[in-house]
Amino acid sequence: MDAEAARYIGAGIACLGMGGAGIGVGNIFGNYLAGALRNPSAADGQFGRLIFGFAVTEALGIFSLLIALLALFG
Amino acid sequence: MAAADKVDPIHQFHINKLIPLEIGGYDISFTNSALFMVATVVLASAFLYFSTSGRALVPSRLQSVGEMSYEFVASMLRDSAGSHAMKFFPLVFSLFMFVLTANLLGLFPYFFTVTAHIIVTFALAALVIGTVVIYGFYKNGFGFLKLFVPSGVPVYLLPLVVLIEVISFLSRPVSLSVRLFANMLAGHITLKVFAGFVVSLSSLGAIGIAGAILPLIMAVAITALEVLVAALQAYVFAMLTCMYLNDAVHPGGH
């Protein structure tokens, strides 16, 4: 196989990891919404934790995007 | 393919030298990146200067926006790191305003996005982590290392947990810088790719122009999303800075 072609395939495969981060971020916001609908008065106080969990989860997806970018342009 | 060649999604990130300068073998040219960093600082400072120069008891619209941004960051720091950490408020507020202004400024067409360069965001993240490490050791001495030993963990699990904590601490500057950089980079590339679809479709004649409406709508929607992402990433950056400062002020305990 051509090395150039392998690079593009590798970048594509690396992006699959972002799907996992997508599931994780969806879980976080879904559970936050479920909790917020049960107890709307407590929802605002947990916004900071929501964003913190979102940021930490998103970082892992960003890492796989970084690997894809490195494979493409590095 | 002539139109597709003209639309290069990476072209917007090219750094051009505006005033070439070289001192002692180091290239310290004034680039478009430096120009937009200066513009960001000037804009943020001017906003805060003019919003606080009135100092009315009943604030004007501009003054209340300034006060809101101040109180927003102050309460974020107070809630997540305690009132002892308020001495770091100037750092957190400057970082928040810089990142927010740079992100929003980059959304204008033909403008350069400073935060879409890994070296800029990594310098900001290194500043944060450096502050945490230096202040943590200055304030707590070697007690700062309690950060890596969570309380209430069984002894036989401790080696594994400490290893995980150390790795998680070491990945912080990477994740803090790469998150902001990758969000900005990916957003702007997506915008340019959809804008490129509009250009290359509309060169195909009447049917192409009719079809180009779809990517045009998409580009507008993504621009709206990018405004949200710009503000959210500035918030996340400041929020995580507060969390990391909390580790320096209260290592081990909460």
pLDDT tens digit string along B152-167?
888 888 889 999 989 9
What number is the ipTM of this complex? Answer: 0.71
Predicted confidence (pLDDT) per residue in B216-237, tens digit: 998 999 999 899 989 999 999 9
Instruction: Please name the member of B178, B232, B239 whose beta carbon is closest to the beta carbon of A48.
Output: B239
Query: What is the average pLDDT value for chain B, to the nearest integer?
Result: 87
Contact state of A48 with B179 under an 8 Å Cβ cutoff: no
Looking at the complex, report in whole angstroms how far the Cα of residue A3 sits from the nearest Cα belonging to chain B. 22
User: Do A48 and B80 lie within an 8 Å CB cutoff?
Assistant: yes
Q: Please, what's the largest Cα pairwise distance for chain B?
A: 73
Between A and B, how many residue pairs show a Cβ–Cβ distance under 8 A? 34
Residue B7's pLDDT band (boundaries 50, 70, 90)? Answer: low
Window 99-138 of B, Cβ < 8 Å to A: none
Relative to beta strand B22-23, strand B30-31 is unpaired
Strand partners, B249: none
pLDDT at B41: 95
- By the 8 A CB rule, do B162 and B149 touch? yes
Of A51, A62, A69, Cβ closest to residue B179: A62
Output the pLDDT for position B146: 84
* pLDDT, tens digit, 9 for 90 and up, residues B184-228: 988 898 888 888 888 888 888 888 888 888 889 989 999 998 999
Task: Tell me what pLDDT residue A64 has.
Answer: 86
- Would you state the pLDDT for residue B2? 44
Question: Which whole-number Å values give the CA distances from A71 to A58, A67, B131, B140, B184, in the listed order?
Answer: 20, 6, 33, 42, 19
Measured in angstroms, the CA of A69 and the nearest CA of chain B are apart by 9
More confident residue, B43 or A52: B43
pLDDT tens over chain A, length 74 residues: 788 899 999 999 998 999 999 999 999 999 999 999 999 998 888 888 888 888 888 878 878 887 887 888 77
* Domain spans, chain B: 2-249
pLDDT at position B1 is 39
At the topology level, CATH places domain A10-73 in F1FO ATP Synthase (1.20.20)
Give which of A69, A70, A73 to mutate to test B binding, by max B Cβ within 10 Å: A69
Question: pLDDT tier at B245 (50, 70, 90 boundaries)?
Answer: very high
Q: Do B186 and A58 touch (CB under 8 A)?
A: no
CB-CB under 8 Å, A65 with B186: yes
The pLDDT value recorded for residue B199 is 87
- If one compares B41 and A63, the residue with the highest pLDDT of the two is B41
Query: What's the whole-model pTM score?
Result: 0.85
Band of pLDDT at residue B124, cut at 50, 70 and 90: very high
Q: Please tell me the least confidently modeled range out of A60-64, B75-79, B115-119.
A: A60-64
Contacts of A56 in chain B (CB under 8 A): 175
B239 in contact with A at a CB cutoff of 8 Å?
yes
pLDDT-above-90 percentage for chain B:
41
Asked if the Cβ–Cβ distance from B178 to A69 is below 8 Å, we say no
The DSSP string of chain B is: -HHHHH--TTGGG---EEE--EETTEE--EEHHHHHHHHHHHHHHHHHHHHHHS--SS--HHHHHHHHHHHHHHHHHHHHH-GGGGGGHHHHHHHHHHHHHHHHHTTSTT---GGGSHHHHHHHHHHHHHHHHHHHHHHHGGGGGGGGS-TT--GGGHHHHHHHHHHHHHTHHHHHHHHHHHHHHHHHHHHHHHHHHHHHHHTT-HHHHHHTHHHHHHHHHHHHHHHHHHHHHHHHHHHHHHHHHHHHHSSS--
Q: Which residues of A touch B236 (CB under 8 A)?
A: 51, 54-55
